[in-house]
Structure 1
Amino acid sequence: MLLAALVAFETMFAPKPAVAVGGEAPEFGLPATEGEPVVLSELRGQKVLINFWGTWCPPCRKELPALTRFASEHPEVAVLGLAVDSGNLDALREAKEQYGIGFSVLRSEDAVEQAYGVSRLPTTFLVDEQGRVEKYKVGQVTRRELKGWL
């Protein structure tokens, strides 16, 4: 009963992102640990899962295996981890290796976080093939939830 009340409270007062479902996903071009910057508009034609996270965030770290497994099971979806850490790309490369992350990790910027209205971590968006936000969640996601989004 207490758990149900906590879930209801969390749902009622969870922050809403700046971009609404059905709205255009804000454009970005961010440096990636793999080398070349990733530009969102260049991924048009495929679904894109955008996960804002931080290496210092326990729920973020806890969901990384689910995101990695989802990415390996759904190669048709571009999975992007936008790290809000202030560190450099070398530090993010180390974190990627340390946590066994199996998807692209990008260094986020304040302007991108503000454009998406990210105020809590983790926050995840699913962008459709036309560049519109299809789903989002503030808080930790599970692989089952992500599969349900497709």
Structure 2
Amino acid sequence: MSRFMRVVGLLGCVALAGCGEEWGVDQHGQPVTAAQLEGQWLVINYWAEWCGPCRTEIPELNAMAASPDGPVVLGVNFDGLQGEELAQASQALGIEFRVLAEDPAERLQLPRSAVLPVTFLVDGEGKVRQQLVGEQTAEGLEAQLAQLGREGSGQSTD
């Protein structure tokens, strides 16, 4: 393959934003790619082991993540745990949804919250639609998503 063709292929990959591990890896070391999240509504929840309300809302987020027509639930450890520490903390808290090893704050232009838990609702276009501070329930999050125009298909109706 010519150098030109390799460069064109690389640029095409970058333009499609579906190649590689653009979101990094999860708590199990599995890649989280842009292609997996493309067009999906995201519920991004920041948590910490020392946060009582975080611990209380984890079963709610697990239920939401397990729903076949629910949004994609992603966790982010507030304290920046990585590798085995992140895996152990996630397991200890009973987290069943994916936890990103890399904080997506810069990518999504999320403000740093001074309190936890904090949850961001991101539409299928990657736009932050809502910031929710404090403990959330699956029912409350679904109501917020419905108000923002999310249907069960994961697509925006805006």
CA contact (8 A) 1:46 1:76 kept: no
How far residue 137 of structure 1 moved from its aligned partner, in angstroms, is 0.3
The one-letter code of the counterpart of 2:91 is E
- Look at both structures and tell me which one has the larger radius of gyration over its CA atoms: 2
Q: In angstroms, what is the RMSD of aligned CA positions?
A: 2.6
TM alignment of 1:61-140, pairs within 5 A = 61-109=55-103, 112=106, 115-119=109-113, 120-140=115-135
- Aligned pair in 2 of structure 1 residues 46, 113: CA closer, same or farther (>3 Å)? closer
- Aligned pair in 2 of structure 1 residues 64, 94: CA closer, same or farther (>3 Å)? same
Structure 2 Cα separation of the partners of residues 39 and 138 of structure 1: 27
- TM-score (norm: length of structure 1): 0.69
How far residue 39 of structure 1 moved from its aligned partner, in angstroms, is 4.7
How far residue 76 of structure 1 moved from its aligned partner, in angstroms, is 4.4
How far residue 87 of structure 1 moved from its aligned partner, in angstroms, is 2.9
- TM-score (norm: length of structure 2): 0.66
Deviations 1:62-103 (A, max 9, x none): 111110011112454211001122433211211222222110
Q: Which structure 1 residue ranges, 5 or more long, are not aligned?
A: 1-27
Deviations 1:20-52 (A, max 9, x none): xxxxxxxx7343112234355751211111111
CA contact (8 A) 1:124 1:136 kept: yes
CA contact (8 A) 1:84 1:108 kept: no
* Pick aligned residue for 1:60 from 49, 54, 71: 54
Q: How many residues align?
A: 123
Structure 2 Cα separation of the partners of residues 141 and 135 of structure 1: 13
Identity %: 36
